[in-house]
Amino acid sequence: MSSVDKPIIRTATEADADGIAGVLTALVASGKRNKPSDAAFALAHYISDPERIRCSVAVDSDGDILGFQSLKLATKNNLYGVAVGWGIIGTHIKPAAARCGVGRELFKSSLQAAQQRGLTAIDATIGAHNSEGLGYYETMGFRDYRRMEGAICKVFRISGA
Ligand SMILES: CC(C)(COP(=O)(O)OP(=O)(O)OC[C@H]1O[C@@H](n2cnc3c(N)ncnc32)[C@H](O)[C@@H]1OP(=O)(O)O)[C@@H](O)C(=O)NCCC(=O)NCCS
């Protein structure tokens, strides 16, 4: 951990929609994202998504959201074509807080949620040219298992599940 103190990790609530949108907006501004980034999107796709298993936020000592991680259940006809019953993970950290260990802390929370849910595997689908995303998931223990157009899919196998 460098310029960011160890964050507090907690489950997101509806009141975090603006904070999560702030993370997404900062990623858009830095050219790392081109999808919606408003509070309504944050609420619908992460905080209150019916397939949500856990959406964790990382907050600093002022309560500001540094990043978040979404873990959802893959159901029939999921957008990524992930095996039904697996988890689907997504991670978003403010560029100003990147490479400070925030993503590493968030994954502890998501992995705990996956284990509690009895998942056998978690999919991460990452842009093929997103070296930081690929590097992050590789370090967390995800391994390549298939390729899609423009993306690499990595899987984290949960032992004992
Ligand atoms: C990719 C991302 C999630 C990583 O989160 P983070 O909080 O910066 O990661 P951490 O600081 O916890 O890093 C944990 C490990 O991941 C790897 N990692 C993180 N950033 C990396 C980078 N830019 N290049 C290579 N490896 C990287 C490293 O092994 C790192 O450990 P180390 O710093 O001890 O070497 C974050 O940078 C991000 O949100 N990027 C934009 C959105 C995105 O691409 N999301 C992933 C695809 S959904």
Each residue's pLDDT expressed in tens, for the chain with a length of 161 residues: 446 789 999 999 999 999 999 999 999 999 999 999 999 999 999 999 999 999 999 999 999 999 999 999 999 999 889 999 999 999 999 999 999 999 999 999 999 999 999 999 999 999 999 999 999 999 999 999 999 999 999 999 998 76
Instruction: Give the Å distance between the CA of 161 and the centre of ligand 1.
Output: 26
What token pair was written down for 46?
Answer: 């992460």
Q: What global pTM score does this model have?
A: 0.97
Ligand 1 shell residues, CB under 6 Å = 27, 32, 90-93, 98-104, 126, 130-133, 135-136, 139
Is 53 within 8 Å of 114 (Cβ atoms)? Answer: yes
**104: Cβ–Cβ under 8 A, 6 or more apart, which residues?**
139, 140
Choose one of 9, 23, 99, 111 to mutate for the ligand 1 pocket test, by most ligand atoms within 8 angstroms of C-beta: 99
For domain 8-157, the CATH architecture is: 3-Layer(aba) Sandwich (3.40)
> Nearest CA to 51 among 6, 84, 7, 16?
84
Atom 41 of ligand 1, residue of closest alpha carbon: 92
Domain ranges of the chain: 8-157
What token pair was written down for 30?
Answer: 């830095």
How many CB atoms are located within 10 Å of the residue 50 CB?
8
